[in-house]
Amino acid sequence: MKDSISLLYQVIDMKTTDSRDLRLLCFFASLLSFYVVFSPVLVFSDGYYVRLVYETSKNESFMRSEEVYESGDVKIVTVTAPERFTWVKVKNKWYIGDGTTLYRTYPIKDLLDIATEYVKANQLDISRDGTYKFCEEAFTLEIATINGEIAKIVRKVGNVVTTMYINKFPKQFDIKNLLSKYTLVDKVTIPEEFFKVFSLFLWMNVTEKEGTIKCSGYDMEGSVLELEINKTNGDIKVDGYYLKVIKASEKTLKEIKNALRNS
């Protein structure tokens, strides 16, 4: 009889153990599903990245490599090629320079900012791994995601194709400590009127030759827009600089004139 009792208790005890195991299994399974579901969101926001940007048009090609530290509303980008300099974004202010002193500048947006803004603005779902292509009148945007993160972005504006490869690496860093290495100067060196003019470009490239900088690109409607800025002569004088419109659509030309009305 004792044997029977012990056998019975063993069975009952095993049943209890099984349910405990089952609960444990469920706990770990839910923990794993939580990680799988939410990890891309958590990983997406902050981190350390190395990025490569290739830009090609009919006549020329361009390459940029950079290191990015991002945490909260602070972003520190060190461009290593074609020239070495740093730009920083703190909340809604941008600073740039080639030393430890960085000067306030107008908003800088890289292809990742553009892509994420586009996705958010259009409430698009790119959470599944794959390649997504979005076509607009003035441009096309292609976003490839791997492990829930954007790994590659391709944008085409006119005949300019910009491709960004994003590689995220695990790295421990203190963003405040990194930021403390730089002195941020709030004084704006670019005339405000130029801010308004540059905001008319959808995409812009700058070349410098004999004291003249040439800004060539496309306006918001995808039409060609070319400007020249120098210190000696031009159509409109702005704070010691002259601006000359080389090529612009009628609409954009009006907008440029409106932006520089007080000059």
Partner 1 sequence: MKDRQTDKIYDKAIKIASAQMNYKAGPLMEEKLVKMIRKRKIISAIYKIGALAVIVLAVFLIGSEKLSIAKVHSPSVASETLNSSELSVESADNASNVQQPNTANSSEDEQDPFFKMMKYVSIASDGNWLTGW
Is 8 near partner 1 (CB under 8 A)? Answer: yes
Q: Write the DSSP assignment of the chain as a string of letters.
A: -HHHHHHHHHHHHHHHHHHHHHHHHHHHHHHHHHHHHHHHHHHHHSEEEEEEEEEE-SS-EEEEEEEEEEETTEEEEEEEESS-EEEEEETTEEEEESSSEEEEES----HHHHHHHHHHHTT----SSEEEEEE-SSEEEEEEEETTEEEEEEEEETTEEEEEEEEEE-----HHHHHTTSEEEEEE-S-HHHHHHHTTEEEEEEEEETTEEEEEEEETTS-EEEEEEESS--SEEETTEEEEEEE--HHHHHHHHHHTTT-
**32 binding partner 1? (CB under 8 A):** yes
Distance in Å, CB of 4 to partner 1, minimum: 6
**Nearest distance, CB of residue 235 and partner 1, angstroms:** 18
Taking CB under 8 A as the criterion, which residues in 80-119 touch partner 1? 81-83, 85, 87, 96-98, 103, 105-111, 114, 117-118
Cα separation, 54 vs 62, in Å, equals: 6
Show contacts with partner 1 in window 141-180 (CB under 8 A).
Answer: 144, 146-147, 151-152, 155, 157, 162, 164-165, 167, 169-170
Q: Of 43 and 178, which has the nearer Cβ to partner 1?
A: 43
Q: Between residue 191 and residue 210, which ones bind partner 1 under the rule CB under 8 A?
A: 198-210
- Of residues 229 through 248, those in contact with partner 1 by CB under 8 A are 229, 231, 241
CB-nearer residue toward partner 1: 98 or 235: 98
Q: Which is nearer to partner 1, 4 or 177 (CB)?
A: 4
In whole angstroms, the minimum distance from the beta carbon of 165 to partner 1 comes to 5
Q: Which is nearer to partner 1, 165 or 253 (CB)?
A: 165
Judged by CB under 8 A, the number of residues near partner 1 is: 96
Residues from 44 through 83 that contact partner 1 (CB under 8 A): 52-54, 60-64, 66, 77, 79, 81-83
CB of 39 to partner 1, least distance (A): 7
Does position 127 interact with partner 1 (CB under 8 A)? The reply is no
Provide the minimum distance between the beta carbon of 47 and partner 1 in the complex, in angstroms, as a whole number: 11
* Partners of residue 163 on adjacent β-strands: 54, 154
Nearest approach, Cβ of 73 to partner 1 (angstroms)?
A: 18
Residue 123 CB-density burial (10 A; 0-12 exposed, 13-18 middle, 19+ buried): exposed
